[in-house]
A and B are shown apart, each in its own frame.
Chain A
Amino acid sequence: MLEKWNPSVKMITVFLCVFILTVRNNTKLNIIVFISFVIGMLLFSDVKPGKIFAFLLPAFIAAFGLFIMGLFYSRNSDISIRTIFDISKEQLEALTTSGNMVTALQLATRLLAYAGMGILFSLTTDGEYFVRSLMHQLRLPPKFAYGILAAFYLLPMMRNELRTVQTAFRVRNMSGFSLRPKILFTMLVNSVRWSESVAMAMESKGFSGEAERTYHDIPKLRGMDLALAVVSVGVVAFIA
């Protein structure tokens, strides 16, 4: 069901929720939003729990990092600690009730709430459906929409090509680190060639980006899409 939610509406819903969370800055709200988005995903989508976990893991790691940062380096901090290893018992007690703790939790839970929304979007939205929806609902010009799709579908080839370039450098006894300007340069040369070839192939098939065209599928905007958006934003706003 979440897969069918119109991607543009879904995206705007996420933006509105981000806006509310940013303004309210409330730990409880963040946690409720995070949990409800994850539960929503488990109940109303076909996404496998394992996949959700795989996406959540880096989010939790990032949140933990922010948590420690908030704990140690809050603005107007009342406690000063330098590393995790030299926290004394008294400090720990003081910490749990300090303003630092409040900030740390705010920061970490806010990131988690964003991640909950982001993961829900990423895992329940088909890329092509999203771009089509941007084209039909948010007026992204076809030239850009199909350009994005073409580049996206080149991804497997580009990854292989990057790997080949890195291997070529390694077998000449040089580092294959992808940020080496020489490796980037080779990939840029490829990118320029690819963009010209793909553009010509698309134009040769009659695509101009300006002329009128028909569409096999047009993502529709149904009442359900808007209702779901209103409910989601409404609930978040209400709790807030």
Chain B
Amino acid sequence: MQNKNEWKLKDVLLVAILGVLFGVVYLGCTYAGGFLYGLLTPVGLASLGYEPFYGIYFIAGAFGVYILRKPGSGIIAELLAAILECLMGNFFGPIIILSGIVQGLGFELIIMLRKYKDFSTAVMIASAVLCSVFTMIYNLIISGYNRIAVPVLLLMLGVRIVSAVLFDGLLVPALTKGLVKAGMLKGYAVADAVDTDLDELTGIA
């Protein structure tokens, strides 16, 4: 009926609402992050404190591309989430939008190369890893991390990758599949791809 790659209003809203949701969740985690941060400050590894939660930063983008499966959906989702994060008040202000673009691009690149057809676990994990690497390159340039000793950077990147793989590479597909099974994502690209053998159940309910 409609161009499959076109965004419907409800697609935009879903991604935007997820952006707000994970903005709130992330804010909740900064308390835990802040605690770790305080603990690690005396040993000079303060920034490491936030790394375990880093994957939540681009979870909206991961959901966007995994559910919608349209070209640009990861980048656009990340961009929307970043604008919303900026609206929600943040001491980095619009600079968040810059990092949002980098994150979206990092996550979508491999999926793009697979022509938005392959969303296997391997692809999702690879995307999470690549996204972590992209954000670290961004940090090297923008945050000046290029002046930090390499082993420390590798340690940070390692924690960031673990976080991204857990949250974005594994949790996002698992939760989305759960939603499909609960009959929540009818009409979205992911629902056609995941499975339809629950038809009988949804049919009676």
Contacts and interface: CB of A to CB of B under 8 A. Distances in A.
Interface in A145-187: 147-148, 150-152, 154-155, 158-159, 162, 178-179, 181, 184-185, 187
A147 B80 contact: yes
Interface stretch (B17-25, B108-116, B117-125, B194-202): B17-25
A240 B31 CA distance: 37
Given A148-B80, A195-B10, A188 B45 contact: no
Given A68-B46, A73-B152, A122-B91, A158 B20 contact: yes
Identify the interface centre among A82, A185, A200: most chain B CB within 10 Å of its CB. Answer: A185
A15 B98 contact: yes
B17 A151 contact: yes
Given A143-B12, A147-B9, A194 B17 contact: yes
Contact of B37 (A65, A154, A195): A65
Given A130-B87, A181-B175, A184-B175, A196 B94 contact: no
A121 B9 contact: no
Given A14-B93, A154-B17, A74 B147 contact: yes
Contact of A191 (B21, B47, B150, B152): B21
19 contacts: A14-B94, A14-B95, A62-B46, A65-B40, A65-B41, A69-B45, A69-B47, A77-B149, A115-B91, A147-B15, A147-B80, A148-B84, A150-B13, A151-B84, A152-B84, A181-B174, A187-B21, A189-B179, A207-B9
A192 B179 contact: yes
A191 B64 CA distance: 13
Contacts of B184: 188-189, 192-193
A214 interface: no
Contact of B9 (A11, A188, A203): A203
Contacts of B146: 75
Given A147-B12, A151-B13, A189-B182, 13 more contacts: A65-B46, A70-B147, A75-B146, A84-B42, A111-B143, A144-B12, A144-B76, A155-B88, A162-B25, A178-B29, A181-B175, A185-B178, A191-B18
Contacts, number: 212
Contacts of A154: 17, 20
A59 B91 contact: yes
Interface residues of B, number: 64
Interface residues of A, number: 81
Contacts of A73: 44-45, 148-149, 152
A14 B93 CA distance: 9
A152 B87 contact: yes
Nearest to B90: A122
A120 B149 CA distance: 32
B90 A118 contact: yes
Given A73-B149, A178-B28, A127 B91 contact: no
Contacts of A31: none
A229 interface: no
Interface of A: 10-11, 14-15, 18, 22, 25, 55-56, 58-59, 61-62, 64-66, 68-75, 77, 81-85, 103, 106-107, 110-111, 114-115, 117-122, 127, 130-131, 134, 143-144, 147-148, 150-152, 154-155, 158-159, 162, 178-179, 181, 184-185, 187-189, 191-196, 198-200, 202-203, 207-209
The list of the 4 closest CB pairs from A to B, nearest first, reads: A65-B46, A118-B93, A72-B44, A151-B16
Interface string B74-109: 001000100110111111111111100000000000
Contacts of A159: 24
Identify the interface centre among A187, A203, A207: most chain B CB within 10 Å of its CB. Answer: A187
B16 to A, nearest CB: 3
B144 A195 contact: no
